[in-house]
């Protein structure tokens, strides 16, 4: 089968399309899936550049989203049959999804919503579980809460806006002015162009000094130390970002803030409620662009490049 293989850690240029052995079902509960689409996540390029080198043995295939068709099943598999359309997130540390076929355990699979394309479905599993973990499990977001989602145009942000709105929250987000209309269509009530305005001052003005109940950090930098200035007393901050630099949390202390730190979630249980929201039309995957699997290098350059020719909006997808 064809697969994008990493033989050495580095930049996008280390992603090479190669012929590798096709996996086969040997276990009682295993399922072989023909991958039709995969998406590109920050976790993918972190693996590619060696951030998690102690957890992998080169060469490796990265990729953390699968949308495809069941090809074969183990003797103990009862729920799934060849031809079933499924989507899921491969186990972190195992073989990834940048390949024509993927072998997994039946416990990881979810049924694809009927009305989604493979490309749309591939944009959901990893960010879906992550967003549910951040908003519902950790932040306990509820109807009537206010939430700030910096970077609402990203893969996590574009889904988080929709989920937060489905839960009945009032949604603030940041994004470039050129994306304002699209972000409003996703459900954002207020869009702040952080290139032109100070988002903390804007939140304080909109909330009359109260601040928001929840802040979701997918941006990093100084967000953890600065964002409490836009937070209400006893508010919650949930971050998905590695804390690479020292942070001064004096403002969080003043707000009696609660911090939650989330590593990207690969959970079928947390994908189920996202699937329900998709099936009822409350959430729709947002696709930024689609690349063929043999151009994975360009897909990685797009997600990493800070000087894009057009702003990123949603997920980048690889088509097989």
Residues 83-121 have pLDDT tens digits of 999 999 999 989 999 999 999 999 999 999 999 999 999
Longest Cα pair distance anywhere in the chain, in angstroms? 62
Query: Please, are residues 266 and 90 in contact by the beta-carbon 8 Å criterion?
Result: yes
Q: What is the pTM of this model?
A: 0.94
- Strand, coil or helix: what is 133? helix
Query: Please, are residues 157 and 151 in contact by the beta-carbon 8 Å criterion?
Result: yes
Report, as an integer, the average pLDDT of 50-65. 95
Per-residue pLDDT at 240 exceeds 80: yes
Centre a 10 Å sphere on the Cβ of residue 33 and count the other Cβ atoms it contains: 28
Per-residue pLDDT at 266 exceeds 70: no
CA dist 63 and 313 (Å) reads 20
Per-residue pLDDT at 195 exceeds 90: no
Place of tokens 């409003």: 184
Centre a 10 Å sphere on the Cβ of residue 99 and count the other Cβ atoms it contains: 27
Peptide bond connecting 59 to the previous residue in cis, omega within 30 degrees of 0: yes
Query: Please, are residues 217 and 241 in contact by the beta-carbon 8 Å criterion?
Result: yes
Place of tokens 């995957």: 285
CA dist 13 and 48 (Å) reads 10
CA dist 191 and 4 (Å) reads 38
């Amino acid at each position: 089968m064809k697969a994008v293989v990493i033989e050495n850690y580095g930049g996008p240029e280390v992603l090479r399309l190669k012929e590798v052995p096709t996996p086969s079902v040997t276990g009682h509960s295993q399922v072989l899936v023909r991958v039709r689409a995969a998406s590109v996540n920050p976790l993918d390029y972190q693996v590619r550049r060696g951030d998690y080198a102690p957890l992998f043995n080169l060469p490796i295939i990265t990729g953390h989203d699968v949308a495809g068709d069941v090809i074969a099943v183990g003797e103990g598999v009862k729920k799934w049959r060849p031809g079933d359309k499924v989507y899921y997130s491969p186990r972190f540390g195992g073989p990834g999804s940048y390949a024509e076929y993927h072998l997994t355990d039946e416990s990881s699979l979810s049924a694809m919503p009927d009305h989604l394309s493979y490309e749309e479905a591939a944009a959901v599993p990893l960010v879906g579980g992550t967003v549910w973990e951040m908003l519902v499990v950790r932040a306990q977001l509820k109807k009537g809460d206010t939430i700030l989602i910096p970077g609402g145009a990203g893969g996590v942000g574009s889904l988080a806006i929709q989920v937060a709105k489905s839960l009945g929250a009032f949604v603030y987000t940041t994004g470039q002015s050129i994306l304002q209309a699209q972000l409003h269509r996703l459900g954002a009530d207020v869009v702040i162009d952080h290139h032109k305005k100070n988002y903390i001052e804007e939140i304080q003005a909109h909330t009359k000094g109260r601040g928001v109940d929840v802040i979701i950090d997918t941006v990093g930098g100084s967000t953890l130390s600065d964002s409490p200035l836009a937070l209400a007393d006893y508010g919650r901050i949930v971050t998905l970002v590695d804390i690479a630099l020292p942070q001064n949390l004096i403002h969080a202390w003043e707000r009696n803030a609660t911090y939650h730190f989330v590593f990207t979630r690969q959970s079928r249980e947390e994908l189920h409620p996202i699937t329900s929201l998709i099936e009822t039309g409350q959430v729709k995957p947002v696709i930024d662009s689609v690349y063929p699997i043999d151009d994975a290098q360009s897909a990685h350059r797009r997600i990493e490049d800070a000087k894009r020719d057009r702003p990123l909006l949603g997920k980048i997808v690889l088509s097989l």
